[in-house]
Amino acid sequence: MWRSKARPTYRSASQLERYLVAGLTVTITLLVRAAFGPILHERSPYMLFNLAVMVSAWYGGFGPGLLTSLLSAFLAHHFFVQPYYWFRLAQPQDGPAVTLFLIITVSISWLAHLLRSATLRAEEGEKRIGEILESIGDNFIALDRAWCFAYINHAAEMVLGRGREELLGKNIWTEYPKLSGSMVGAKYRQAYENQSPVDFEYFHRATATWFDVNVYPSKRGGISIYFLDITQRKRHEEEAARLATLVASSDDAIMSVALDGLIQSWNDGAVRLYGYTSEEAIDHSIYMLLPSNKQDEENQLLKKMQQGERVEHFETMRVRKDGKHIHVSLSISPIRDSHGTIIGVSGIARDVTARVELEERLRQTQKLESLAVLAGGVAHDFNNLLVPIMGNASLAMESLPALDPTRPLLKEVIQASERASNLTRQLVAYTGRGKFIIELVDLSELVRETAGLLRASISRNVALQLDVATELPAVEADVTQMQQIVMNLVINAGEAIGEENGWVRVRTGTEDVDEAFAGATFVPGEIRSGRFVWLEVRDNGCGMDESTKARIFDPFFTTKFTGRGLGLSAVAGIVRSHGGMLNVDSAPGRGTTLKLWLPATSIRKSKGAREVPQELMGRGTILLVDDEDAVRRVAKAALERYGYTVLLAEDGYQAVDTFSRTAEQVLLVILDMAMPGMGGEETFRRLKAIRPEVPVLVSSGFDELEAARRFQSGGIAGFLQKPYTVVQLAEKVKTAAR
């Protein structure tokens, strides 16, 4: 075994020194032989010189040994063979004796030289091994058969915690008693006793280092122990395991794909997102996740990866195992080998379906909000124009005798104005924010009453079939809006049939609906359970595909003359505003069924006559505030006709000024909600500040819902919707002034 203690070696003596030692050895041997001459037999002159040759050859090699052999032969014969001090062979037997001595001593020199060479080679090998063991950064320890330290390299001192000079030659169990009962000690004994290598991993707490320990039995007994520092590898393994755990537990779908499109890895997130197990996905094509219209998209993505590009947060569509289309956000990066060559693609997919659907609903809401602003403005201005038309016509009609032939003409003017007003309310209904004139409506009766108009509105090749229920519960709805719904649905159904012969069937009935059903409808309203009245319009026309069906309720979408289109946005808005639901069932070539549900009441519509209006004549002073001159003139004339005194104001400033001087005389204020300068709300607050108890009747071309929003603090005596007839004006004034 190798030891780290310094000792003299053959290489430490120079050539001159070896020959001097040889000469000195011969001299000493000569003196010793002379000293022991009386004792030794005279015929044994060469006895001690054999030993001198051996020592010279062992120390100096063959050259010094040969020199010692020749000198010994000469000196022994000269000094110890009779006649003494004689330089020639005195007797015949002396020749063979000298020759034999030379043969023996030369042989001894040669053998000693071979031994010396072998020893030198062993020393050189041991030195090289020692240098190697010292130069490596790993730890090496050798134990002999007695379990004593035979070799310790410099690096091993860190593990042992002590210097090697202190430990060499000492028993390992004595120096480290805790090691004897440990797992490490058991592994050492196992290698020694079984004479077979042992490999194990060990964490050295003192240095916080992981080692891969290899124990090898020695042929000369003992063991050699090699400690390989694997701390960095362990950290990499732990990091890889941590990353693998993160990948496996991630909610996102994480996968790797080869450049040919075959899936190489598939985490649990991908299982949840796409529905395929790892066995079903790995080694299968990534194209199975793509909709038919997205195949080229994947080719483009793979091409970018091959060029070394990255793709971040790319949103697209994918297909689950169950066929459902989902929205995903993709982040894709190329995978490179140790040489930088791109060998695949790693991808992370996140399900953003809920967000995309929410954004789409938000966009629809923003569209409706924009339409609400537009529709409200148009309704306000248009209704202001209708006020003088309806007011003057109603004033003129009331001033004429009952049998006057012009009364029917004026009545048609009033009815046309009312229809125009209904159009503005339908425009607001597109946004779902319209405030309707709510009354009890029998849908079956409404369908029967409009049947003639419905038949006239569709092609002659389309048969209109009515299957409406009798004794149907009433719904609280706006009659005009319900008529508009039926008209839109039937006309669109007829257009879906086209030039072919076909039919449109209108049905009504009742149904109990729960929240789960309500939430699954195509255009759900405020989801609630209960009893509903339904209206169904069905045709056997061309039908619609999924993409068309998804957009038929968009405000600006139309497929006129090829299927559903114009008017369905208004239908959805009206149904939504009435707290109802709407559903569509259609497929290409299978026709379309459109069904809506409205909350049913517990009563049926009364078929009695309308109650006669109360006496409308009155007295008192009314302050009329409106920025439209025509509206002021008509309203003043109507109110004076019914016995009132009217003060006029064209804006808020004039109204406040007039009211501050006549506050105690004013019976009622009729206030326009939207005026330039000082608006209706500010005017209302200032009037109330002067006289808090004064009743204020708000009038506007906007609907009552908008008035309620603007006057949230309350305190208004009523709302007068423009346009209005003089009778409607008188009724509202009479009610508000009580």
10-residue mean pLDDT series, the chain (738 residues): 44 74 83 73 66 79 81 74 58 69 79 75 66 68 89 81 85 88 89 90 84 86 86 81 71 86 88 90 90 82 83 88 90 86 88 87 75 71 80 82 82 78 64 64 88 80 91 87 85 86 93 73 62 93 83 66 53 82 88 91 58 68 92 90 92 93 93 89 92 91 75 80 86 86
Classify residue 333 as exposed, middle or buried by CB count within 10 Å of its CB (0-12, 13-18, 19+).
Answer: middle
Q: Give the rounded distance of the alpha carbon of 394 from its chain centre.
A: 66
Which residue type is seen at 624? Answer: L
DSSP structure string for 326-355: EEEEEEEEEEE-TTS-EEEEEEEEEE-HHH
pLDDT of residue 611: 40
Q: Answer for the pair 296, 290: CB distance below 8 angstroms, yes or no.
A: no
Backbone φ and ψ for 261, nearest 5 degrees, come out as 95, 5
pLDDT of residue 1: 42
Alpha carbon distance 542, 620 (integer Å): 64
- Neighbouring C-beta atoms of residue 125, cutoff 10 Å: 11
Task: Report the relative pairing of strands 621-625 and 645-649 from DSSP bridges.
Answer: parallel
pLDDT of residue 3: 44
pLDDT of residue 81: 63
Angstrom distances, CA of residue 356 to CA of 316, 352, 640: 11, 6, 59
Q: Which residues, at least 6 apart from 440, have a Cβ–Cβ distance to it below 8 Å? A: 474, 475, 476, 601, 603, 604, 605, 606
Which residue type is seen at 353? Answer: T
Which residue type is seen at 717? Answer: A
Angstrom distances, CA of residue 527 to CA of 41, 461, 515, 568, 597: 136, 39, 6, 21, 12
For the chain, domains (ranges, CATH) are 10-132 (no CATH), 136-234 (3.30.450.20), 250-351 (3.30.450.20), 356-399+616-738 (3.40.50.2300), 443-599 (3.30.565.10)
Would you give the DSSP letter of residue 83?
S
The answer to whether the peptide bond before residue 723 is cis (omega within 30 degrees of 0) is yes
Of 447, 490, 496, 491, which is closest to residue 468 (Cα–Cα)?
447
pLDDT of residue 689: 92
For 281: left if phi > 0, alpha if psi spans -120 to 50, otherwise beta; the answer is alpha
* Paired tokens of 170: 């000492």
**Contacts made by residues 164-170, CB under 8 angstroms, sequence distance 24+:** 164/4, 165/4, 168/3, 168/4, 168/5, 169/3
User: 327 - beta bridge partners?
Assistant: 317
pLDDT of residue 669: 94
pLDDT of residue 276: 93
Task: Report the relative pairing of strands 253-258 and 696-700 from DSSP bridges.
Answer: unpaired
Which residue type is seen at 354? Answer: A
